[in-house]
Amino acid sequence: MSDPQNIKRRGLMLVLSSPSGAGKSTISRELLDREPELTMSVSATTRPPRPGEEEGKDYFFITKDNFHDMVGKDEFLEHATVFDNSYGTPRGPVEAALADGKDVLFDVDWQGTQQLRGRAPADLVRIFILPPSKDELERRLYARAQDPEEVIKKRMDKAATEMGHYDEYDYIVVNNVVKDSVAEVQAILIAERLKKDRREGLYDFVRELCGHEDAEV
């Protein structure tokens, strides 16, 4: 939803984090379909492309040398190495989108969120997605039929650690019914867009409402 008064604003960085199986990816897809001013952050990675993945859409595929060079030049908002492959969020495209009044959606864990908080606290809105119960989380992991039982047990153990960081987030959404959770996240997004500190054109708008340029507002 755009600003009905067309008051210029700075975009925001919307972070969704959750344990695997809580429904974060489903909520993200629905939200992107509903919000034309919201775009998904594209990470850079050193791993090779998988079948069907597209450069610039799924990831920016770069070499390890290029990745280390970008780290040295402080060109990532956040980055991490997982199983010998590195991943990071390039700073340039995100900052360009924010300056243009666009919002950027991030699918990162609590560690990535901490890095984003350290680099761009004023632009960040953090939402943690929780499952309605431990049993339901386990049921969803089994229902996906993507992982063997030993992997699911590891995911459940990891989930406990991840959920322990819920207090580091601005909002908590318990994903019981997906459509309700999407509506809640969308409501958060709309409210955050209306915060006066993000509405860079508000001063000029109010001054015009007052009737003359020298009005004190």
pLDDT tens for 31-49 read: 999 999 999 999 999 999 9
Residues 120 and 77 sit within 8 Å (Cβ to Cβ): yes
Predicted local distance difference test score (pLDDT) of residue 157: 92
Average pLDDT, the chain: 92
Pairing of β 85-90 and β 76-82? antiparallel
Q: Is the pLDDT of residue 113 over 70?
A: yes
- When pLDDT is cut at 50, 70 and 90, the band that residue 148 belongs to is confident
**215 or 37: which carries more pLDDT confidence?**
37
Average pLDDT of the residues in 134-162: 89
Q: Is the pLDDT of residue 149 over 90?
A: no
Average pLDDT of the residues in 75-93: 93
Tell me how far apart the alpha carbons of residues 29 and 26 are, in angstroms, rounded to a whole number. 5
CATH number of 13-41+102-210: 3.40.50.300
Cβ-count burial 84-109 (b if 16+ within 10 Å, e if not) = eebbbbbbeebbebbeebbbbbbebb
Which residue do the tokens 């908080």 mark? 117
- When pLDDT is cut at 50, 70 and 90, the band that residue 213 belongs to is low
Q: What is the pTM of this model?
A: 0.89
Average pLDDT of the residues in 127-134: 96
- When pLDDT is cut at 50, 70 and 90, the band that residue 4 belongs to is low
Tell me how far apart the alpha carbons of residues 183 and 132 are, in angstroms, rounded to a whole number. 16
